[in-house]
Amino acid sequence: PSVQKVIVTKGFHQIHKIAHSNSHNYISVAPMILASGDYIPSLIIYKGVCAIPGLLNDAPFSIIISFTNSEYMYKELFQMYIEYFISSIPSYHSVLLMLNATSNAKVELLEAEIYTLRRENILLKKKLEMFKNLESLQMLREKKESAKNKAKSIKQKKEEAAQKRAD
């Protein structure tokens, strides 16, 4: 038999939480890593349909666990988790979510826009203050450019008027 490496928190003694009726070889995790330091629980997907007694004992606070016929995230589960994710983030934070699951890209999401950049990358962008600031910056650049063009035009007219007087 092959040796499998198991990584657990120091002092954790019960590593055999998954019953043999559920396959322990097929687990998917949707971790949330936030630059702001806010905590959003990860989603763990087990292959199998049996809820295991005591599975959540010693689990991290408010972790989300799902049981499916496969270990993969299907459309409804993705929709549920994204809605939970959006409701968990503070409204003043801008969010850029990068995923590699193209099969879930067609899910309609509330308060969000989906942009497909490449086949393997999907960006979910929630419009918040950061994007408004970028729009304001662009408007400021356009005004500055317009003022430069206007100043050039006035300078040209003055030069033309001075040229006419000289003739």
**Alpha-carbon gap, residue 71 to 84, rounded angstroms:** 20
Q: Which domain holds residue 50?
A: 27-91
> Does residue 147 fall inside a structural domain?
no
Q: Which residue has the higher pLDDT, 7 or 119?
A: 7
Grade residue 66 by pLDDT with cuts at 50, 70 and 90: confident
> Does residue 73 fall inside a structural domain?
yes
| Residue showing tokens 């490449």 | 118
Structure confidence at residue 154 (pLDDT): 92
Calculate mean pLDDT across residues 86-104.
63
> Does residue 51 fall inside a structural domain?
yes
Take residue 97 and report the two structure tokens written for it. Answer: 């979510």
pLDDT digit string, tens, across residues 108-121: 554 455 544 444 44
> Does residue 66 fall inside a structural domain?
yes
Q: Work out how many domains the chain is built from and give that number.
A: 1
> Does residue 111 fall inside a structural domain?
no
Q: Which of 45, 15, 43 is nearest to 27 (CA)?
A: 45
Grade residue 123 by pLDDT with cuts at 50, 70 and 90: very low
> Does residue 127 fall inside a structural domain?
no
- Contact between residue 107 and residue 135 where contact means Cβ atoms under 8 Å apart: no
> Does residue 128 fall inside a structural domain?
no
In angstroms, what CA-CA distances link 147 with 69, 75, 133? 63, 51, 21
Is 0.75 surpassed by the pTM of this model?
no
Mean pLDDT of the chain: 67
Helix (H) or strand (E) holding 19: none
> Does residue 87 fall inside a structural domain?
yes
